[in-house]
Every structure is written in structure tokens, then in C-alpha cells.
Amino acid sequence: MQAKHVRRFIAPVVASFLATTASGQEEPLHPPLEQQAFSLDPEDGCFRYSGTAFDFVGRFRAGAYVSVTMDNPERFPAMDAPEYKAPGSASWFGPLPESRNYGITFTPSYLHGSSDRVEICGRMSPPT
């Protein structure tokens, strides 16, 4: 008799928990991605940004080299292009294999949503 009473008590508690868990799963676990489309300034070949975006998309020509700098030394750029080693504080990528839109994302993910100043520049000759 006592086990029946416990089951009657636990069943509504479990149902309530499952309903809460199910509704909690519908909410995003991470903040929404803040993607920033960009184009390079025709005069100096750079794009400058200040804000919380961590995913950038812009078009580059085949053979271009791309430099990425940011103020926060904990942030690192990742680009869907070959990495290019060059002296200095900028991260370099290139030469790019084809003309198309390329994505640049910053890591580590625990810094997503934090504000930073970013500069993305393109050029057609290798950095020296």
C-alpha cells in the first residue's frame, strides 16, 4: 500500500521535471551567433570593426593574403584558408586558393560575446 502512495507522489514530480527539461532544451544553450559581413575599404584594403561579433564573412580574390589583428591577445583567428607565417602581431592567411567568400572566426569560445576591435586587411603580395 505504501509503495502505491509513493508512486502517486513521484509520478507528478517526474512529469513536472520532464516538462521543465523539455522546455529548457528548446532555449538556445549558447548566445546566438553574431556574424558580421564585411568588405575591404578600396583605399587601404582593410576593414575595421569594434563590437561583439566573432564570425566574419567577406570576399577575397584568389592569390590574396589576409592579415587579421585584434586588441585582445587571448583571441585567435581561424580562417578557412592556409595559414601563412610572417613576423609581427598579425595572423596571416594565404595565398587564397580561389576567389570566393571566406569565413574568419575567433577562438576560444569562452570569449564569444566579448567586445573587441578587429582589423582585417587583404593584399595581393606576400607580407615581408
Confidence of residue 27 (pLDDT cuts 50, 70, 90): very low
Q: Is 12 exposed, middle or buried (0-12, 13-18, 19+ CB in 10 A)?
A: exposed
119 has pLDDT over 70: yes
66-89 pLDDT per residue, tens: 999 999 999 999 999 999 999 999
% of the chain at pLDDT higher than 90: 62
Q: What is the DSSP letter of 113?
A: T
Bridge partners (DSSP) listed for residue 46: 121
Strands (E) in 61-115, as ranges, are 65-70, 76-79, 83-84, 91-93, 100-107
Q: Please give the backbone phi and psi of residue 114, each rounded to the nearest 5 degrees, phi first.
A: -85, 155
pLDDT of res. 128: 84
The Cα diameter of the chain in Å comes to 84
Query: What domains, with CATH codes, occur in the chain?
Result: 35-123 (2.60.120.380)
Q: Are 38 and 103 in contact (CB under 8 A)?
A: no
Residue 118 has which C-alpha cell? 578587429
